[in-house]
Amino acid sequence: MKSSLPMRHASEEPPKARSRPLVRAARMALYPRSTEATRGKLDRLVQYARAHKKALILTHDNPDPDSIAAGVALAHLLEKLAGVEAIVAYGGIVGRAENRALIKVLKLPVVPVARVVFDEYDLICMVDTQPEQGNHSLPARHFPDVVIDHHPERPDSHLAPIADVGGPIGATSTVVAEYFRASGLKVPSPVATALFYGIKADTRDLGRQTTRQDVDAYLWLFPMTDKDALGEIEHPKLPLDYFRLYHTAIERAQVYGDAVVCDLADIYAPDMVAEVAERFMSLEGMRWSLAFGEYEDNLYFSIRTGDRRMNAGRLIRDVIEARGGSAGGHGTMAGARLPVKELGPVATKRLKEDVVKDFLDAFGLKGRKGKKVV
Ligand SMILES: [Mn+2]
């Protein structure tokens, strides 16, 4: 196949052996990635995209930094390499202050999906999620042309003409950063900063679910990042609601053996459950952390485990999908959404109790009594 790409940048280092992951050595061997393989994937993406005019790139709902960064970076690649006009859209809201700062400080061009007329686009891409994942706002009558996601592969994803899914990589931003690196294009500073922060956030500073590729991409991007912008993103001003929510969280959290469970009741943004679950994981002696709360007729769940032998993604799917919700995630972190629009307050309360019971059973803590944190 004729290469559609410019020559690799002369100063770029030759490809290194990329076989030693930081964790999960056995699985890593199943997913060899090399610069040549990445160039091949990028070539196919660009060839395919060239036959199109307007691209819509969809993140997952209530997008996190990884999803936003991967979307914005992919838009840039499609515009520069394939001459396709591209926009990035998300369903839900951007709630966490860091994620809002990411968009604002770097002036990232992302729009709410409500402003999108799907039929105006002839190339639909999905990043950091997959069609079957259920946590995105692509109407059922559409199917994406391009799917790029580091979460475990779902069977339908390969119905997309271009799919780069699955694998142990810690962030979708790493995958797109590798495309950038293979393209030889200059990475604009806001895009480099976003990708860097996307990797940093998803891998929790390279300390979780991190592969050699994530470390390489992180180090490659770092010199190109805007350090002042990074500071503003990582340490944003927080709304009063944030402190109110933490007050509620500490008051309502219950410890069951080595699990902490926090029912936040009403939350001001869906992505706050992830933040609280993550925070309680820091509590001494905890192996599991579960946080959930209600936002606009849905219960949102977030789960973390410190035990690498566990699969939080599978566990949350077992508990939530059986009840008609959607769930996704991987080894140590996962999230889910369960609609409760039809339920009254009594039924919702019972549902929450049943779900907590199922989780405690799955954690091996059946029948444990909870103890309040304060
Ligand atoms: Mn991700």
What CA–CA distances, in Å, run from 278 to 41, 260, 288?
34, 11, 10
Please tell me the distance between residue 374's alpha carbon and the centre of ligand 1 in angstroms: 33
- For residue 303, the CA-to-ligand 1 centroid distance in Å is 15
With contact defined as beta carbons under 8 Å apart, do 164 and 189 qualify? no
How far away, in angstroms, is 153 Cα from ligand 1 center?
Answer: 13
Q: What's the 63 CA to ligand 1 centre distance in angstroms? A: 9
* 211-201-264-366 Cα dihedral, nearest 10 degrees: 10
Pairing of strands 254-256, 259-266: antiparallel
Whole-number Å distance, alpha carbon 369 to ligand 1 midpoint, is 34
Ligand 1 centre distance from Cα of residue 149 (Å): 7
- Structural domains of the chain sorted by starting position, each given as residue range(s) with its CATH number in brackets: 25-234 (3.90.1640.10), 240-365 (3.10.310.40)
Tell me the CA–centroid distance for residue 346 and ligand 1, in Å.
35
In 3D space, the residue among 281, 208, 152 whose CA is nearest the CA of residue 24 turns out to be 208
CA of 368 to the centre of ligand 1 (A): 33
Rounded-to-integer distance, Cα 12 and Cα 19, Å: 19
**pTM of this prediction?**
0.86
Strands 146-149 and 123-127 turn out to be: parallel
Q: What is the pLDDT along the chain (374 residues), one digit of tens a residue?
A: 334 444 444 344 444 444 444 444 434 434 445 788 999 999 999 999 999 999 999 999 999 999 999 999 999 999 999 999 999 999 999 999 999 999 999 999 999 999 999 999 999 999 999 999 889 999 999 999 999 999 999 999 999 999 999 989 999 999 999 999 999 999 999 999 999 999 999 999 999 889 999 999 999 999 999 999 999 999 999 999 999 999 999 999 999 999 999 999 999 999 999 999 999 999 999 999 999 999 999 999 999 999 888 899 999 999 999 999 999 887 888 999 999 999 999 999 999 999 999 999 999 999 999 999 99
Partners of 260 in the beta sheet? 255, 289
Candidates 147, 117, 111; CA nearest to 129 is 147
